[in-house]
Structure 1
Amino acid sequence: MTGSTEGARILLVEDEQNIALALKFLIEKMGHQVTHIDDGHRALQEVAGLAPDLVLLDVTLPGASGYEICQHIRASHALDATRVLILTARGADIERRKALALGADGFMSKPFEMSELQAQVAALLARPREA
């Protein structure tokens, strides 16, 4: 864990390539290191080894859902300090409640303003995760 808002390790789990490219560019421009995975199953296999500070997580993914990945992260003590931000086109309030109940630290509905995402990323990285 970096413990600061600069130079954090971010795991981006997003299967829509155009969205992933835009988010990767934006987050790298903020000074963070981004690893992109486009498959839920692969994200489940690799998240512990990557030990990210923050996971930006789509819900609808091939292989495993973002909710499954969030649960996996929260079940791993090695990832206790990892923050999870759910990004989804499923913007209903029930989706937000589900994400937060499963341990996500934040939730954003697509489409969103890039400045809003930057603010969320900075806020999540600035505070320690409460387990």
Structure 2
Amino acid sequence: MTTEGRRALIVEDYQAAAETFKELLEMLGHEADYVTQGADVEPALASKRYDVVFMDINLPDIPGLTLVNHLRERLPQQHMPSFVAFTGFAAADVVGADTIFDAYLEKPLDLPSLERVLQSLS
């Protein structure tokens, strides 16, 4: 998979942050959508095929770790997107994130880190 032209789903409960993240991805040449609740992720994935899902770990309705585990069990393997943890916590502080997520991105977001993560998923 190339780093250009990916479809990304952003799962972020803070709408302004989700919109900023979407704009950054689009600046890099990717298509991006966002949802603000964990409950909206599965319907979004059913309606469109995404290459990568950026998941906030601390969602108000369901923990991101729990949601990704659920999605990995339910989604068809051939349509499985990469899952990237997106949080203000350091990676070492998020127990289990290294085994559940394909990559990790810390807030606040910056373009070099975002590009690095996308390249690591190639």
User: Are 1:45 and 2:43 counterparts?
Assistant: yes
Aligned AA for 2:119? Answer: A
Q: For each residue in 1:81-124, what CA deviation from the matched residue of structure 2 results, as whole angstroms up to 9, or x when unmatched?
A: 411110111225141x511222x101122234331112212331
User: Are 1:5 and 2:3 counterparts?
Assistant: yes
Give the TM-score taking structure 1 as reference length: 0.80
* Number of aligned residue pairs: 121
Alpha-carbon distance in 1 for matches of 2:35, 2:77 = 20
Aligned AA for 2:36? Answer: D
User: Which one of 52, 64, 67 corresponds to residue 65 of structure 2?
Assistant: 67
Alpha-carbon distance in 2 for matches of 1:28, 1:112 = 14
Q: Kindly state the Cα deviation for residue 79 of structure 1 after the two structures are TM-superposed.
A: 5.6
Alpha-carbon distance in 2 for matches of 1:112, 1:28 = 14
Instruction: After TM superposition, list the pairs within 5 Å mapping 1:6-25 onto structure 2.
Output: 6-25=4-23
Alpha-carbon distance in 1 for matches of 2:31, 2:91 = 31
Alpha-carbon distance in 1 for matches of 2:30, 2:91 = 30
Instruction: Work out the percentage of aligned pairs sharing the same amino acid.
Output: 27
Distance 1:92 1:32, change over 3 A: closer
Instruction: After TM superposition, list the pairs within 5 Å mapping 1:95-106 onto structure 2.
Output: 95=94, 97-102=95-100, 104-106=101-103
> Unaligned 5+ residue runs, structure 2?
none
> Unaligned 5+ residue runs, structure 1?
127-131
Aligned AA for 1:73? Answer: L
